[in-house]
Amino acid sequence: MSEVTIKAQKPAYELTVRDFVMCFRTAAGAYETDLIKLPVIKTLSVEPDASSKKIYASGGVYDIATAVRGARLGLGAVALPEELLVKAAGSVQDGATAYDTGLPQLPEFGCGYWCEKSDGSKVYYWHPRCKLTIGNSEHKTSDDSDIDPEVSQDIEAMPTEDEGIWKMRYFTDKVQSGQTALTPDAFFKLRPYTAAELKSAGSGGNPS
């Protein structure tokens, strides 16, 4: 019998979420060249659409099967560009005017964000296939209270068609020996869509 060892760990904790990044996809399924970076996040929640089912055999629990069908992202931001929301909502725009129809054609996009941790490392998150959720809007009058603007927007993260990937992560403290971690801009410019593209980002890095 092998000896059991105890390994103490003191994990780093998250300090803050930083920029929100998104890139629309063309009708042909490729990412557009414009990558939009928004330093606007106040809160960001991720609610997976998941279910679990117990599998019984021989009078006991044989296994638990889990299925994840994507997730809903809840974005709380100081503000979001109107032209971005118009495009993501499938609105029909003509110059200074835009209108919405009952059957909008919502374009797909990839979106991500990154977080700083207490040990100085960073984690980059990327959802390769998303669509905007059409939600409520609210307009308020100004008053004497302190100004602290915030808008909320829900986003549906969907699994990719071939591999079923709905979330990707890149850890800057896990890069290979001899490499320095990618910066947030360098990672998001890659806009990975497949597992192979994500793995290439993780193994490439920048020469140290």
Per-residue model confidence as pLDDT tens digits over 181-207: 999 999 999 999 999 999 998 875 554
The pLDDT assigned to 113 comes to 98
Tell me the CB-side half-sphere exposure of residue 102, using CA atoms within 13 A.
0
As a whole-number percent, the residues of the chain with pLDDT over 90 amount to: 83
pLDDT tens-place string over residues 103-148: 999 999 999 999 999 999 999 999 999 999 998 888 889 888 898 8
Confidence at 60, pLDDT banded by 50, 70, 90? very high
Average pLDDT, the chain: 93
Task: Give the distance from CA 112 to its chain's centroid.
Answer: 4
Q: What pLDDT was estimated at residue 59?
A: 95
CA 133, CA 158: separation in Å to the nearest integer?
12
Q: How confident is the model at residue 208 (pLDDT cuts 50, 70, 90)?
A: very low
Distances (CA, A) of 168 to 22, 108, 157, 160, 165: 14, 17, 11, 11, 8
